[in-house]
Amino acid sequence: MAERVYIFDTTLRDGEQSPGISLGVREKLEIAEQLQRLGVDIIEAGFPATSKGDFEAVRRISEKISETVVCGLARAVPSDIDTAWEALKNAERPLIHTFISTSDVHLEHQLRKSREEVIEMARQAVSRARSYCPHVEFSPMDATRSDPEFLYRVLEAAIEEGAGILNIPDTVGYAVPDEFAAMIKGIMDNVKGIDTVRVSVHCHNDLGLAVANSIGALRAGARQVECAINGLGERAGNASLEEVVMAIKVREDRLGFETGIVTTEISKTSRLISLLTGYNVQANKAIVGKNAFAHESGIHQDGVLKERTTYEIMDARTIGLTESDIVLGKHSGRHALKEQLERLGHYLEEDELDEAFKRFKELADKKGSLSGDDIEAVALDFIRTEGQEWKLSAYEVHSGGHQAPPSATVTLEREDERVTERAVGDGMVDAACMAIREALGIKARLISFSIEAITGGLDALGDVTVQLDIGGRVVVGRGVATDVVEASARAYLNAVNKVIR
């Protein structure tokens, strides 16, 4: 009988800490609902004390999500824990996750606390969280560089105060698999009361070992893995949820574990996260990269055509990769769009659907018909731009020539305010972005610009991603349109709005 492994998803908390990602409340709700459909056991919805936006997102997710545990992060500080509970109090299944550093390097240079002070802070934090909430998780930050004997003492204090989950983080991605597994075994063998709690692990990918370390920890006694969709997270990211889950599923014969993940939702979830965060999935990414089930070699193609398992250890259908036959055109109605959006996993409110339908009609008039990927792009483009301060209401561009440089005129609107600005640039895209900067009085430095066609054909929707540095803050913006200039302007404005927000 396979043993159950719990999946704790931190895409909305640690994943959002990736440079340039700044999700709005509506975007976070969309992701949380998809994570619930995916079947994760715990959604770490955010860090409520860090900002009003994070607080509001955790509060809204707590009210919306009923089947999955909703978690809020808090430092071992009374005000953080109070704020976390205020955000979580309406959740069906709330969890407060509190943490404090335990490595000597953190104690000396960051916390400037003694070991005894840290133990006392851990005790008080867990006790305070436990007074609000029956389910509390405790993490000793930078555990892999902590003195083992001191780590055991901190963990025992957390257990004594009522923590039900002990999470062991490799905060800086320093550990290697055999070392991390030995560390978990040491905890299982030496911490009093460890058999009464669940041991979790949170591995970072600085050395590319997050998934391997997580699997090694499971074999040493851990029963929960903290991970993120597409491996998002600080620096090189977290353990990739899809890789952990599919390793457990494909090698159940060797590992003897199972999860509650609905694997056919993996591809859809990965795509949603990519489209909303602006972080593209690398082509050769395990499980969800576009080349993960592609075969170029003639020998491989021959083998797969004769028998799939000759060169594929997974069936693409197990992660939800299927051919889409969805096609809607300019004569399709609102009900047809609603049905197809729900088939793709996007459930919009009636007023949201009205707005998305207007955008769909605009694109259908230009393109003629929209595929499933196009329709999804329409929904996510709407979700990305909902609640934005400024919207692009009109634009006009001139390619220039021998007599004049390329130019663009853009009109932006918000509530009762309307502004129009003209600018010239090196090209039409540059001119349009320059006009937006001038209209809003924003100084921005372009870090990166990329464009992809959502589907094949000359009439394909253009999907533009930009990364900007605005006043020292890095933000990512994304925009979709049949016209490359419009898509670029939308992406640029999406990024600028995040800073304004």
CATH of the domain at 173: 3.20.20.70
Domain edge (last residue) among 341, 357, 385: 385
3-class DSSP assignment, residue 204: strand
CA distance 357 to 272: 19
Whether 113 maps to a domain, the answer reads yes
Residues 212 and 337 placed together within one structural domain of the fold: no
Digits of tens for pLDDT over the chain (501 positions)?
899 999 999 999 999 999 888 898 989 999 999 999 999 999 999 999 999 999 999 999 999 999 999 999 999 999 999 999 999 999 999 999 999 999 999 999 988 999 999 999 999 999 999 999 999 999 999 999 999 999 999 999 999 999 999 999 999 999 999 999 999 999 999 999 999 999 999 999 999 999 999 999 999 999 999 999 999 999 999 999 999 999 999 999 999 999 999 999 999 999 999 988 989 899 899 999 988 877 554 544 455 456 656 656 788 889 988 655 567 888 888 888 888 888 777 888 888 888 888 888 888 887 777 888 888 877 777 777 776 789 999 999 998 776 789 999 999 999 889 999 999 999 999 999 999 999 999 999 999 999 988 877 777 888 899 999 999 999 999 998 888 999 999 999 999 998 887
Is 308 a member of any domain? no
Contact (CB, 8 A) for 489 and 35: no
Instruction: Quote the distance between the C-alpha of residue 286 and its chain's center.
Output: 17
Clarify whether residues 7 and 63 are in a common domain.
Answer: yes
Per-residue pLDDT, 342: 83
The total number of residues shown for the chain amounts to 501
188 lies in some domain:
yes
Does a structural domain hold residue 371? yes
Would you list the DSSP string of 376-441? HHHHHHHHHHTT-S-EEEEEEEE---SSS--EEEEEEEETTEEEEEEEE-SSHHHHHHHHHHHHHT
Q: What is the pLDDT of residue 326?
A: 63
Which pLDDT score is estimated for 300?
45
309 assigned to some structural domain? no
Domain assignment present for residue 134? The answer is: yes
Q: Which residue, 252, 277, 302, sits at the end of a domain?
A: 277
CB 88 within 8 A of CB 70: yes
The token pair that represents 84 in the structure block = 């976390």
Tell me, yes or no, whether 210 lies in a domain.
yes
8-state DSSP, 108: I
Domain of residue 369, residue span: 327-385
Domain endpoint, select from 277, 311, 338: 277
Task: Confirm whether 302 is domain-assigned.
Answer: no
357 plus 462 within the same structural domain: no
In this structure, are 332 and 271 located in the same domain?
A: no
Q: Are 371 and 455 in contact (CB under 8 A)?
A: yes
Task: Provide the pLDDT for residue 304.
Answer: 42
220 & 359 share domain: no
Same domain, 376 and 404: no
> How crowded is residue 313: how many other Cβ atoms within 10 Å of its Cβ?
9
Residues 31 and 116 in one domain: yes
The number of folded domains in the chain is 3
What is the reported pLDDT for 457?
73
Q: What CATH number does the domain containing 485 carry?
A: 3.30.160.270
| pLDDT for the residue numbered 299 | 47
Residues 488 and 412 in one domain: yes
Instruction: State whether 194 and 211 are in the same domain.
Output: yes
Buried b (16+ CB within 10 A) or exposed e, 378-412: bbbbbbbbbebbbebeebebeebeeeeebbbbbbb
In this structure, the answer to whether residues 90 and 174 fall within a common structural domain is yes
Buried b (16+ CB within 10 A) or exposed e, 118-129: bbebbbbbbbbb
397 and 445 belong to one structural domain: yes
User: Whole-model pTM?
Assistant: 0.88
Q: In this predicted structure, what is the pLDDT of residue 286?
A: 95
Same domain, 331 and 466: no
pLDDT at 308: 59
